[in-house]
């Protein structure tokens, strides 16, 4: 574990486990979480012989609770600084939700040789917000509601999201895990309120259309068909049409947080793609 300091003085916390000469897999977490959201995948791929890396996005987890730079261009620049610091070559970048947007922007701009493949899991691209180009998106009122709830009572908001739609625990017959709920809340409350507030705009209003078109490496897009946070029809099903070399794999009945609720399924498919 360690930190790097970016050009604007922000400290980015990261974990870097495994043989330094093994193929690296870099994990990018969703909002408002941290690198800890990838614990299962980090351990799984470490035991498979990979080098595994995950960072806390600025304003999240153990990184600086900055009030500036909480937007996708800077997030991607922070990733570039980290990959330069670690001199990663031929890495696989895996992003969930907001982290999927971060992966799309970083990979589209990455230096030659840095990236071998990319994976988007329940990811926000091409854009979550309803626009003229994407009329099936969510209305601004949804994201205004997120901002209002965060300001009013962030601690309660960060209970309500994982207890309900994030993991699909609001569905009849769901296998509710209090541990997952508590861990989501713990990670969320580690971060900064200002950064979390700003990140709502970043994950909802950023248009990744051109990023997706610019990616030249193979891309695996994985999405739960019962994703209540990032509905599949306006995300994965559109993103797959924009990438040059993409594979779409969807999961009937699985929720937004399927990498946590169904890691055995997700890890096996990730491994198959990485080794293909």
Contact 212, 240 (CB under 8 A): no
Q: What is the CA radius of gyration of the chain?
A: 17
Q: Which of 97, 204, 235, 260 is catalytic?
A: 97
Strand (E) or helix (H) holding 1: none
Contact 13, 59 (CB under 8 A): no
Phi then psi for residue 209, to 5 deg, are: -55, -50
Q: Does the annotation count 227 as an active-site position?
A: yes
Using alpha carbons, select from 28, 32, 65 the residue that is nearest to residue 199: 32
Q: Which of 28, 29, 55, 256 is catalytic?
A: 256
The SS3 of residue 260 is: helix
Helix, strand, coil shares, percent, the chain, to 5: 45, 15, 40
**Euclidean distance between CA atoms 269 and 263, whole angstroms:** 10
Q: Does the annotation count 276 as an active-site position?
A: no
* Tokens matching residue 88: 């990663």
Using alpha carbons, select from 226, 120, 223 the residue that is nearest to residue 168: 226
Read out DSSP for 119-154?
EEES---S-SB--SS-TTSB-HHHHHHHHHHHHHHH
**Euclidean distance between CA atoms 181 and 253, whole angstroms:** 19
Q: Does the annotation count 256 as an active-site position?
A: yes
**Euclidean distance between CA atoms 122 and 242, whole angstroms:** 16
Q: Which of 55, 96, 227, 235 is catalytic?
A: 227
Residues with catalytic roles: 97, 227, 256
């Amino acid at each position: 574990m360690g930190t790097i300091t970016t050009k604007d003085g922000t400290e980015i916390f990261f974990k870097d486990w495994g043989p330094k000469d093994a193929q690296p897999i870099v994990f990018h977490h969703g909002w408002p979480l941290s690198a800890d959201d990838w614990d299962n995948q980090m351990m799984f791929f470490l035991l498979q012989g990979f080098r595994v890396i995950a960072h806390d996005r600025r304003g999240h987890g153990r990184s600086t609770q900055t009030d500036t730079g909480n937007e996708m261009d800077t997030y991607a620049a922070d990733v570039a600084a980290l990959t330069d610091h670690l001199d990663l070559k031929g890495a696989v970048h895996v992003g969930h939700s907001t982290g999927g947007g971060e992966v799309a922007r970083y990979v589209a701009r990455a230096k030659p040789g840095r990236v071998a493949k990319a994976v988007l899991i329940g990811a926000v691209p091409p854009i979550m917000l309803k626009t003229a180009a994407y009329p099936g998106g969510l209305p601004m009122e949804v994201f205004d509601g997120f901002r209002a709830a965060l300001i009013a009572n962030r601690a309660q908001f960060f209970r309500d999201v994982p207890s309900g739609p994030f993991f699909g625990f609001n569905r009849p017959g769901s296998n509710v895990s209090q541990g997952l709920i508590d861990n989501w809340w713990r990670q969320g409350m580690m971060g900064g309120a200002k950064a979390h507030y700003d990140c709502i705009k970043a994950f909802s209003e950023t248009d990744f259309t051109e990023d997706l078109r610019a990616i030249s490496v193979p891309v695996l897009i994985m999405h739960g068909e019962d994703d209540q946070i990032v509905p599949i029809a306006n995300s994965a099903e559109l993103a797959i049409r924009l990438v040059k070399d993409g594979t779409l794999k969807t999961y009937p009945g699985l929720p937004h947080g399927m990498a946590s609720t169904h890691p055995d399924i997700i890890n096996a498919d990730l491994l198959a793609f990485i080794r293909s």
